Chain A
Amino acid sequence: MTSKIQEYADIAEYAQQMQEPEWFTQLRVAARQKIPELVLPDFQKIKYRTWPINLKQELSVKHSQTADLNLETRQGNFVQVGPQLVQAKLPAEWAEKGVVVCDWPTALKEHPELVQKYFMTKATKPTENRLNAEHVANLTSGLLIYIPKNVILQAPLTTYFYQDAREKQDYVHHLLLIADENSEVSYLENTGTVGTSETTANIIEEVIACQNSKIKFASVDRLGQHTTTYLNRRGYLENDARVDWSMGMMNDGDIVGDFDSELVGTASHAEVKVVAISTGEQVQGIDTRVTNYGQHSLGNILQHGVILARSSLIFNGIGHIVHGAHGAEAQQESRVLMLSTKARGDANPILLIDDNDVIAGHAASVGRVDEQKMYYLMSRGIDKKTAERLVIRGFLGPVLSALPSKEVQQILADMIERKLVNGQNDE
């Protein structure tokens, strides 16, 4: 087997420098070998094949200078710039309970049993598509988070992940979040970009909800204007597990987001809430899927987005109920509001039902700002841009108010306001 590794000089050298366990290096090689025969994932109405979304660089050890960075990290527990962990505050109380949060090289060395069991074995696979294979072969940054059985974290766990685009380099980032049986965690992630080089980001985040665990996963994604991103977030839910996704797509560059929940367990339950704002010339394509395998499993998708200037936003909502998932339910609502005549938007509901004893429904709309509302607001002296933001706030309100955490509601509301103000200035 070692000879095979040697065929890929960059991987071999990286593995040696990082003293990476061989079993993981073998995964890289296997993925790299498969790349030529794999194709890009297909998302309806999201045209991204001409984007620079494939990774092009060889795998190499990267160091990010962080001394001169002035990062906005509030009270983040873990802050990562590129592969560099620049802040690691795991409360002692959590560590005593066996909670693990560590960067990727540490995870491979100290927690191989967790990585081997869960890393792209359940929620997604290395060979599922070409971008996944590229990801495994070139993965350099990320975190492993493990919440042991019966552990309930009262306070949220907060991370900041910064892609380093101060030089032209691929960003390949992996989060593996495992909530073991009967555990509970509220996780808040912030992604962003430092620097303005034209770069490619390939991010896969796996959220494993073991039996009867509860995960609140919130994210505010603010990747930069010159970053082209594949963002694959996958939930894998066992019996009676619940995942509440709250995602704010506030990126400035082109991005295809694939947000899927595999409702494998009986009575597993996923709530997926997405708010997205597209500005400038960017394209955000968001493919949100819930797949009901388990009996009496429940998957709800609620996504609202706003499109400014010449940008695009596509929402696919997929409710897939497989044969045998009796009593399963899949509901979805996707709505898009266009603020300019040059904006392009789509809300595309897809129901794939292979069982009879189920409940499924969908709602979708693409619309423009109501002129009567604008007139009313402006007739009280409020200027056009502010009035637009108020109408948008109302439009996004049903998603924001449904988020399980007040803190996340506020953070997202602030980000929305900021992105809208910037986007309006851009028009």
Chain B
Amino acid sequence: MATLEIRDLHVKAKEESREILKGVNLKMSTGEIHAIMGPNGTGKSTLSESIMGNPNYEILQGDILIDGQSIIDLPVDQRARAGLFLAMQYPAEIPGITNAEFIRAAINSRRPEDDQMPIPEFLQKLDQTLQTLDMTQEMADRYLNEGFSGGEKKRNEILQLMMIAPKFAILDEIDSGLDIDALKVVSRGVNEMRGPQFGSLIITHYQRLLNYIQPDVVHVMMGGKIVKSGGAELAVKLEDEGYAGLRDELGLDVKLVDEE
């Protein structure tokens, strides 16, 4: 069992002075699926990017640990090899390298030089995973995300996730821009990963995704902090009452971005 722990994390964007995360605490283990819900502009994406190590964000205070080891001084690639994966909201398009080549390079970056994944084994795994996600072989042969639709990019993130099989996968609004069929496919992929070796932190606005991927723990973020944690029923409650309802119930002084 591996653990991911976030301790009193304070973060700001490089270009700005305003603190976005104001002391986030969270601990999870492999075998668990946690969901983070919250209104727009509350720092959910900042949290996921900070965990991954996006250079556009600066950690002011606190720590992020995998299995008790701090990773905040590690560059992005080392964090990835330590077991983290971030399915991004806006994956980059990289011409010149095919999806399949890229995924193989990513897998092999985790393995010693003299034990690279044999090509037949790779192709077999790729083929199976493509099928699970209703993707064609052609998508594996195309340049990485180049010319992919929004939905194709999201599927492609899950394809990479399944192929790389990280310890912890953060899914940053994987449901945005997906139609219901694509949402089911993406959920199928994540559910297939479920098991004692895998943990996931799912960031979403809506409860809908959580109908397909049942979370063990739901956290609600507002104003740069986790303000409430609970079971799957918390998501349902939010869907019914909205974020403003919870805020008022908790007596928080937080302005919701989209509030009139």
Contacts and interface: CB of A to CB of B under 8 A. Distances in A.
Contact of B160 (A370, A380, A384): A380
B141 to A, nearest CB: 14
A112 B248 CA distance: 98
B238 interface: no
Given A387-B77, A395-B96, A381 B91 contact: no
Contacts of B105: 382, 386, 390
B96 A379 contact: no
A380 to B, nearest CB: 4
Contact of B88 (A379, A386, A387, A390): A379
Contacts of A395: 96
A377 B101 CA distance: 12
A322 interface: no
Contacts of B92: 370, 372-373, 375-377
B80 A378 contact: yes
B77 A382 contact: yes
A397 interface: yes
A138 to B, nearest CB: 42
A215 interface: no
A167 to B, nearest CB: 40
Given A381-B109, A382-B105, A394 B91 contact: no
A340 B207 CA distance: 45
B245 interface: no
A371 interface: yes
Nearest to B164: A380
Contacts of A383: 77, 109
A246 B101 CA distance: 26
B135 to A, nearest CB: 18
Given A380-B160, A383-B109, A375 B97 contact: no
Contacts of A378: 75-77, 80
A419 interface: no
Contacts of A380: 80, 85, 102, 106, 109, 160, 164
B95 interface: yes
Interface residues of A, number: 24
Contact residue range for chain B? 20 to 34
B94 interface: yes
Contact of A379 (B86, B95, B110): B86
A281 B109 CA distance: 31
B88 A384 contact: no
Nearest to A396: B96
A391 interface: yes
Nearest to A387: B77
A375 B55 CA distance: 8
B131 interface: no
A102 to B, nearest CB: 41
A283 B56 CA distance: 33
A376 B106 contact: no
B145 to A, nearest CB: 8
Interface string A9-39: 0000000000000000000000000000000
B116 interface: no
A144 B106 CA distance: 49
Interface in B14-54: 52-54
A65 to B, nearest CB: 38
Contacts of A111: none
A122 interface: no
B110 A394 contact: no
Contact of B106 (A372, A381, A398): A381
Interface of B: 52-56, 75-77, 79-81, 85-86, 88, 91-92, 94-97, 102, 105-106, 109-110, 143, 160, 164
Given A375-B55, A397-B96, 19 more contacts: A371-B55, A373-B94, A378-B76, A378-B80, A379-B86, A380-B106, A381-B80, A381-B106, A381-B110, A382-B105, A382-B106, A383-B109, A386-B109, A390-B94, A390-B96, A390-B102, A393-B96, A394-B97, A394-B143
Interface of A: 370-373, 375-384, 386-387, 390-391, 393-398
